[in-house]
């Protein structure tokens, strides 16, 4: 232990000396093993958290360096275990984050101005952060992989909870849906294609800039403000029809043929290829649905509802696979699945607004009248009917209605205890030095402040 501490101090001293040689003003706040935590790192992380609206519980100059120190403990374990991550997943997460910044700040230039770094510099830093984050998660999963709750353990855990610790579960519902896309006249589709061909020709002739046309005309709300730019994506992140054309583009000056997807009609322009990822711009147009087409679709679904409810010709579940045009639910009897938790229960706020409005009028087993809603994917007007299958009023969680929720709470609690014990043992076995001015904190974990000994 004595030799390890001397080597750690020597490594930090070398790092400080190297910075001094480069005339860079820097200050060490903490040292974990042989890894310094710099004041500039803490400041930069704090700024990042403020931008992302990440809440900091307590003094940020106590919380942030402690979080960094814990990360270094996990990363050291990742080195010992030779933990490797899938680089393509790291790159995808970074590009998604950069695209988020561009979308919110308005342009690449504004992102660089805000963070005082070029995008290539930001990308490299974010890659390191994402890579480390995934390695830490893998170590944590390995440490807690044996946590599996039995029903008796869940019951004991629930019985031990104080009343005010039992979560309140808001109103939840189970819903089935049947959707119909109104018929779109061929003339409307041809008009959309003609507009896209016109945009393409103007770009090819140098009369217009693709990104300007995207800002003015694209109906993709996520990318139009960025000139149609999607950011770097892998093939699997794009719908197959779009990916097949985009990944075959080679000339950034050219514009693709018109591509039809579930979202509408697109033209695409290559920006850059980087390995198995691609960055493109696109312009999306959707054919408009006329009031008459919507009215006809509503009448058709109201007739269908009458056949189910009054005529008893067939059931809702029997009608869905033959008539519904919702790809996500038609082969599952129309049952909607909550992406947030993987169950068939939704809080009202988690449902599309139009669906929630209709569901609120129903009792379990009832079917709504036909109504117009926006398709979550294409943003087109479609027509739907819904059936309420379950309605669970707001309540304190209980074992009969909320077993999975309580089981998750128990397992999360067990994992947290394992990780806390591991961290505190790792702190005890690791050289730690906290500089004056950074020590007066109420830390989350015990043992950071070491008693001075002759070994030091």
User: Which residue in 97, 49, 228, 158 sits closest to 406, CA to CA?
Assistant: 158
Please identify, in words, the CATH class of the domain defined by 186-285.
alpha beta
Residue pair 384/355 in contact by the 8 Å Cβ criterion: yes
Residue 208 tokens read as 């217009």
Question: How far from 191 is each of 195, 197, 265, 375, 377, CA to CA, in Å?
Answer: 6, 10, 11, 21, 22
Q: What is the pLDDT along the chain (456 residues), one digit of tens a residue?
A: 333 333 343 344 444 434 444 444 579 999 999 999 999 999 988 988 887 788 888 899 999 999 999 999 999 999 999 988 888 788 878 888 888 888 788 788 888 998 888 988 998 989 999 999 999 999 999 999 999 999 999 999 999 999 999 999 999 999 999 999 898 889 999 999 999 999 999 999 999 999 999 999 999 988 888 889 988 888 888 999 999 999 999 999 999 999 999 899 999 999 999 888 899 999 999 998 888 999 999 999 999 999 999 999 999 999 999 999 998 899 999 999 998 888 899 999 999 999 999 999 999 999 999 999 998 877 789 999 999 999 999 999 999 989 989 999 999 999 999 999 999 999 999 999 999 999 999 999 999 997 654 344
Do 334 and 178 form a contact (C-beta atoms < 8 A)?
A: yes
Backbone angles phi, psi at 40, to 5 degrees: -65, -35
Rg for the chain, CA atoms, rounded: 28
CATH topology of domain 170-183+290-396: Chitinase A; domain 3 (3.10.50)
The rounded distance, in Å, linking the Cα atoms of 154 and 190 is 60
Own/partner pairs, 363-367, CB within 8 angstroms, 24+ separation: 363/388, 363/391, 364/388, 364/389, 364/390, 364/391, 365/389, 367/305, 367/308, 367/309, 367/316
Tell me how far apart the alpha carbons of residues 344 and 336 are, in angstroms, rounded to a whole number.
6
Give the CA-trace dihedral at 56, 426, 82, 45, to 10 degrees: 20
- From-to residues of CATH 3.10.50.40 in the chain: 170-183+290-396, 186-285
Task: Output the six-digit token pair for 91.
Answer: 């790159």
Q: How far apart are CA 95 and CA 271, in angstroms?
A: 14
CA angle 17, 20, 25 (to 5 degrees): 130
For residue 176, count other CB atoms closer than 10 A to its CB.
21
| Dist CA 122 CA 97 (whole Å) | 11
**240, two tokens:** 């197959």
Token reading at 412: 């999360």
Asked if 397 and 404 count as a contact pair (C-beta separation under 8 A), the reply is no
Q: Counting beta carbons within 10 angstroms of the beta carbon of residue 443, is it exposed (0 to 12), middle (13 to 18) or buried (19 or more)?
A: middle
379: left (phi over 0), alpha (psi -120 to 50) or beta: left
């Amino acid at each position: 232990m004595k030799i390890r501490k001397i080597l750690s101090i020597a490594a930090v001293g070398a790092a400080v000396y190297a910075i001094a040689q480069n005339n860079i003003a820097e200050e060490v706040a903490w040292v974990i093993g042989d890894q310094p935590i710099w004041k500039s790192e803490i400041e930069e992380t704090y700024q990042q958290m403020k931008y992302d609206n990440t809440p900091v519980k307590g003094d940020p100059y106590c919380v942030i360096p402690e979080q960094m120190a814990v990360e270094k403990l996990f990363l050291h374990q990742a080195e010992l275990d030779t933990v490797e991550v899938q680089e393509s997943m790291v790159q995808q997460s970074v590009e998604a984050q950069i695209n988020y910044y561009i979308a919110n700040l308005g342009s690449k230039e504004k992102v660089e101005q805000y963070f005082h770094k070029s995008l290539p510099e930001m990308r490299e830093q974010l890659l390191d952060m994402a890579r480390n984050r995934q390695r830490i998660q893998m170590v944590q999963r390995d440490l807690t992989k044996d946590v599996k709750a039995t029903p008796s353990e869940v019951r004991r855990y629930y019985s031990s909870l104080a009343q005010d610790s039992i979560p309140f579960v808001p109103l939840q519902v189970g819903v089935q849906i049947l959707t119909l896309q109104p018929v779109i006249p061929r003339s409307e589709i041809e008009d959309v294609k003609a507009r896209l061909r016109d945009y393409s020709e103007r770009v090819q002739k140098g009369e217009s800039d693709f990104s300007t046309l995207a800002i003015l005309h694209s109906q993709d709300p996520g990318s139009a403000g960025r000139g149609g730019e999607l950011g770097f994506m892998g093939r699997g992140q794009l719908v197959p029809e779009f990916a097949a054309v985009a990944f075959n583009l080679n000339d950034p000056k050219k514009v693709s043929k018109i591509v039809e997807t579930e979202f509408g009609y697109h033209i695409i322009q290559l920006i850059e290829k980087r390995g198995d990822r691609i960055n493109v711009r696109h312009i999306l147009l959707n054919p408009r649905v006329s009031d008459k087409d919507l009215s006809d679709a509503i009448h058709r679904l109201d007739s269908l509802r009458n056949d189910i409810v009054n005529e008893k010709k067939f059931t809702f579940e029997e009608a869905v696979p033959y008539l519904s045009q919702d790809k996500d639910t038609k082969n599952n009897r129309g049952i909607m699945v909550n992406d947030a938790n993987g169950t068939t229960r939704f809080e009202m706020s988690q449902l599309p607004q139009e669906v929630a409005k209709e569901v609120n009028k129903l009792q379990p087993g009832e079917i709504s009248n036909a109504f117009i809603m926006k398709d979550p994917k294409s943003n087109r007007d479609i027509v739907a009917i819904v059936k309420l299958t379950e309605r669970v009023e707001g309540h304190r969680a209980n074992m009969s209605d909320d077993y999975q929720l309580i089981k998750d709470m128990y397992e999360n609690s067990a994992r947290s205890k394992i990780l806390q014990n591991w961290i505190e043992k790792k702190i005890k076995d690791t050289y730690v030095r906290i500089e004056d001015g950074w020590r007066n904190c109420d830390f989350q974990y015990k043992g950071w402040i070491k008693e001075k000994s002759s070994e030091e």
